[in-house]
Structure 1
Amino acid sequence: MSSGAAPAAPASADLNRLIFRKLMPLLIASYIIAFIDRTNIGLAKEHLEADLGISAAAFGLGAGLFFVAYASFEVPSNLIMHRVGARLWITRIMITWGLLSAAMAVVQGPASFYVLRVLLGFAEAGLFPGVMLYLTYWVGREQRARANGYFLIAVCIANIVGAPLSGALLGLDGVLGWHGWQWMFAIEGIPALLLAFVIFKFLPDRPADATWLTAEQAAELTRRLEAEQQDGAAASGTHSLAGVFKDKKILLVILVYFTHQIAVYSLTYFLPSIIGTWGEMSDFTIGLLTALPWVAAALGTTFLPRFADSPARSSRLLVGGMAAMAVGLVIAAVSSAAVALLGFCLAASCFFVVQSILFAVPASRLAGVALAGGLALVNTLGILGGFLGPFVMGLIEDSTGSPLSGLWFVIALVAVGALVSLTLRPQGTARKAETAKAGA
């Protein structure tokens, strides 16, 4: 039962534009750098095998161990951020992950590869769910999927820019006696360290700390969003972190997100290898082709989440997005190179449309500490798909000799996720009803 509180009036369009303009560039930049540092090993895969003897299975395990470490520290990380503030905590995350990402240049074999991937996972833990929590301090229910989608454009940009950049840096092989992959890791770790200081100086913790809002704007925005959170928590009946484990809708979100992450990270880590089987190509050319599905992902993320402005529309976009991911991967698995690339583009175009809506569900059902811990818990359990997908893909490649054969494992689980997504929609009322109430 609802508490009976009126739905929070939506913020003005001008205020939303101001918030997006001031906050999103910093948040997007941080995640672009994080994602490049997290995934650049995909292009180094063949080189690590040739230079250090790291097999496909060992590579998949190392790629996946990042997520085990990442997941284990996410809930504590978000609870710490809820206490100390986003500015300080995101700065800490960026400094430690930048140093550890650069340290990948000194990997000597499978053991050191595993250790540094685990440490990198610990270092970066909490960035994504932390930003999902941070956005609830600034953006209301109607605009949350859109804000999440804008943030997730960072992943697309990271892959569009990062794949060709990493491919070019691999071309430095032999300079000053270093392998190209060593230059790639060392150089791509530096931007995180530089941006950390920008985040510390310019990212406000909450509306009351923003010099670009008036005191009245900050107070009204805070009051409105706190009322919306309390109303959503009252309607869902979930008021504590322990209660999250009993909330069936959030558990279903975790299941769908798990299958989603299997698809995203299997493609992230193995697409360069798959493209490499299509013919003789340079690292730079492979990087350029690898970037194309992420261009499609950027287009989907830019134009589609804005339509998720009511529970019904959100539900349709979620189900349609998961189904399109499955269909695109099937096309990629059974087609020639050119058509397969189109299939990968179709699947990727819905990656972050789906993800932006999934995180709007718990954000519409929780408040306070339960919201901080609940968002982290969704990411903690869901992102373990980022471990399972690359690990199984690596095992299947070792047993079959083809990086493409593991796609059928991914397709089966995404199809399950699409069926489960039929049961999900964010908590709340439709936009017309909220707007009418606000204007009453």
Structure 2
Amino acid sequence: MSTSPGAATMRPPAELNKVILRKLMPLLVAAYVMSFLDRTNIGIAKERLEIDLGISATAYGIGAGLFFITYALFEVPSNLIMHRVGARFWITRIMISWGLISAGMAFVQGEWSFYVMRLLLGAAEAGLYPGVMFYLTRWFTRPDRAKANGLFLLGVSFANIVGAPLGGLLLGMDGIGGWHGWQWMFVLEGLPACLLAVLVWKLLPDRPTDARFLNRAEAEALERRIAEEDAAGEAASGTRSMRLVWRDRQILLVVGVYLAHQIAVYALSYFLPSIIGGYGELSSVQIGLLTALPWVFAAIGAAVVPRFASSGRASRKLISATMIGIAAGFALGAASGAVFGLIGFCLAAFCFFALQSVLFTFPASRLSGATLAGGIAFVNTIGLFGGFIGPYVMGAVEGATGESSGGLWFVVGVVLVGAVLSFFLRYGADKPGSTEE
């Protein structure tokens, strides 16, 4: 292993964390930007798909959600494979396959081909998010994981900030080369993932001892500290296998909260452009710019809030507060007009990834090794069914009533249930005070 110049001694933990963040996070965030862009860009194309292909609002909601069926089914196997073969190889494989299939969305002909391509895209991308969540547990100790998770989740915000205006511009390519604008959008947003995969293969180290930017003493000490934390958490919780993960009460609570959270995230991701389009006579670019606004607040929340998750108790309070904030934001969006409705969606989005980055530190406080990899994937698997439920209910309600407010109120109710569940979360072991402080 190569060492950094002059790295004869170990750097302080705070400095080491900055180095790791600087070396790993830009690449991981860029990958997540592209993945979220490629799974949600159908939102900006919704109206054009209805006009050009005759895809109804209900069919659109089904297709948007079908992605998460295959994504969820392949999550646990994908993460277990990554644990065996390494993040560098597996993330590269994921990115190439999803990039090609996302570009292939340009060739859908109607509802059934739309459904098939969404199913294939979900299978191709399965494992990226839980894989990175597990990967980060190999690089950061418990006090630093929420911050690292939050920075990674900036990718979702950046994708929505850039994606909506970019999608609006690409729709303007309608007629060039005989293609519709949405066809150009799928191709020009899908193929770059394949190019970025080359950089992932060249630059992403599997573990600290493979990293050229750490010296051997630093890498070995970091891996040793993380292994000790894993062993302590596993011993305290008693959850040592996947069979026990599925019966661990705390993991199931995390699943319940995450499911409610994901219903809200994807309801907004897929239907916000059409909700804003209903505010008045707006162009595609104007809709794209207004759609990006809540995601600016999501980025702020992801960057600022997780640093306050300094203990188990603080983490639990942050999760409960942000769940309540999401419910309040959706309620304001459902009950108000354009200005206050958009403010409500900004409030909900501010809470989205502030919550998610903290929530995924809970499984890592109880599990280790392959069980941790599988456990994180299990949480994401069940939670991602929210990615089907949210768009499906929103599409069904809009198709039946011609309005989206009924679907928004459904989201409010689900998130409030998740907020109640969050009050029972406990960090680390089940015993009060064990790792809560």
TM-score by length of 2: 0.95
Q: Secondary structure at the match of 2:213?
A: coil
> How many Å separate the matches in 2 of 1:33 and 1:204?
20
Unmatched tracts of structure 1, length 5 or more: 1-9
Which residue matches 1:74? 75
> Within the alignment, does 1:373 sit opposite 2:374 as a pair?
yes
What letter corresponds to residue 248 of structure 2 in structure 1? D
Letter in 1 for 2:273: P
1 CA distance for matches of 2:149 and 2:75?
18
1:346 maps to 347
Query: Aligned residues, how many?
Result: 423
User: Which structure 2 segments of 5+ residues have no match?
Assistant: 1-10
Q: Give the drift of 1:15.
A: 0.7
Structure 1 CA distance for aligned equivalents of residues 403 and 222 of structure 2: 53
Cα distance in structure 2, aligned partners of 1:212 and 1:145: 22
Equivalent position amino acid for 1:179 in 2: H
| Partner residue in 2 for 1:137 | 138
> In the aligned structure 1, how far is the partner of 2:65 from the partner of 2:106?
19
RMSD: 1.5
**TM-aligned CA deviation for residue 246 of structure 1:** 1.3
* Distance in structure 2 (CA, Å) of the matches to 1:426 and 1:101: 38
Return the alpha-carbon distance in structure 1 between the equivalents of residues 364 and 118 of structure 2: 30
Looking at structure 2, the residues matched to 196 and 28 of structure 1 have their Cα atoms a distance apart, in angstroms, of: 13
The amino acid that maps onto 2:60 is F
The aligned counterpart of 1:37 is 38
Q: CA deviation at 1:11?
A: 7.1
The match for 1:396 is: 397
**One-letter identity of the residue aligned with 2:153:** L
Query: Deviation digits for residues 88-144 of structure 1, max 9, x if unmatched?
Result: 000000000000000000000001000000000000000000000000110010011
1:316 CA displacement: 1.1
- Letter of the structure 2 residue corresponding to residue 41 of structure 1: I
Deviations 1:45-94 (A, max 9, x none): 11001000100110000000000000000000000000000000000000
Q: Which residue of 2 aligns with 1:236?
A: 237
Task: Give the conservation status (yes or no) of the 8 Å contact 1:314–1:425.
Answer: no
| 1:363-398 C-alpha deviation (Å, 9 max, x unpaired) | 111001110100000000011000011001111001
Matching residue's letter, 2:145: R
Query: Are the counterparts in 2 of residues 311 and 428 from structure 1 also a CA contact under 8 Å?
Result: no
| Mean Cα deviation higher: 76-85 or 401-410 | 401-410
Once residues 150 and 427 of structure 1 are traced to their aligned partners in structure 2, the CA distance between those partners, rounded to angstroms, is: 23
Residues 292-331 of structure 1: pairs in structure 2 closer than 5 A: 292-331=293-332
Deviation at 1:403, TM superposition (A): 2.3
Counterparts of 1:214 and 1:177, CA distance in 2: 55
AA partner of residue 260 (structure 2): T
Provide the residue aligned with 1:406 in structure 2.
Answer: 407
Number of the residue aligned with 2:16: 15
Distance 1:46 1:229 in 2: 48
Percent of aligned pairs with the same residue? 61
- What amino acid does structure 1 have at the position aligned with 2:295? W
Give deviations 1:270-289, integer Å, cap 9, x for gaps: 00010010001111100000
CA distance in 2, matches of 1:424, 1:18: 32
What is the one-letter code of the residue matched to 1:95?
I
**Aligned partner letter, 2:31:** S
CA–CA distance in structure 1, aligned partners of residues 317 and 258 of structure 2: 16
Q: CA deviation at 1:428?
A: 7.0
Which position in structure 2 is the counterpart of 1:427? 428
Per the TM alignment, residue 357 of structure 1 is displaced from its structure 2 partner at its CA by 1.3
Contact 2:264–2:390, Cα closer than 8 Å, also in 1: yes
> Which amino acid in structure 2 is aligned with residue 134 of structure 1?
Y
2:273 pairs with 1:275: no
The CA distance in 1 between the partners of 2:19 and 2:63, in whole Å, is 41
* AA of the residue aligned to 1:115: V
Give the Cα separation in 2 of the matches to 1:233 and 1:146: 22
Aligned residue for 1:304, secondary structure, equals helix
Instruction: Check the 8 A contact 2:237/2:429 in 1, yes or no.
Output: no
Q: In the aligned structure 2, how far is the partner of 1:21 from the partner of 1:209?
A: 16
Give the conservation status (yes or no) of the 8 Å contact 2:294–2:345: yes
Alpha-carbon separation, structure 1, partners of 2:12 and 2:176 = 54
SS in 2 for 1:405: helix
Q: Secondary structure at the match of 1:212?
A: coil
- 1:213 is aligned to 2:191: no
Paired amino acid for 2:68:
F
Structure-1 residue corresponding to 2:5: none
- Map residues 24-63 of structure 1 onto 2, 5 A cutoff: 24-63=25-64
**1-side partners of 2:384 and 2:138: how far apart?**
24
Tell me the residue number matched to 1:253: 254
Q: CA deviation at 1:358?
A: 1.2
TM-score w.r.t. structure 1 length? 0.95
Aligned partner letter, 2:424: T
Query: What is the alpha-carbon distance in structure 2 between the residues aligned to residue 311 and residue 320 of structure 1?
Result: 14
Q: Secondary structure at the match of 1:286?
A: helix
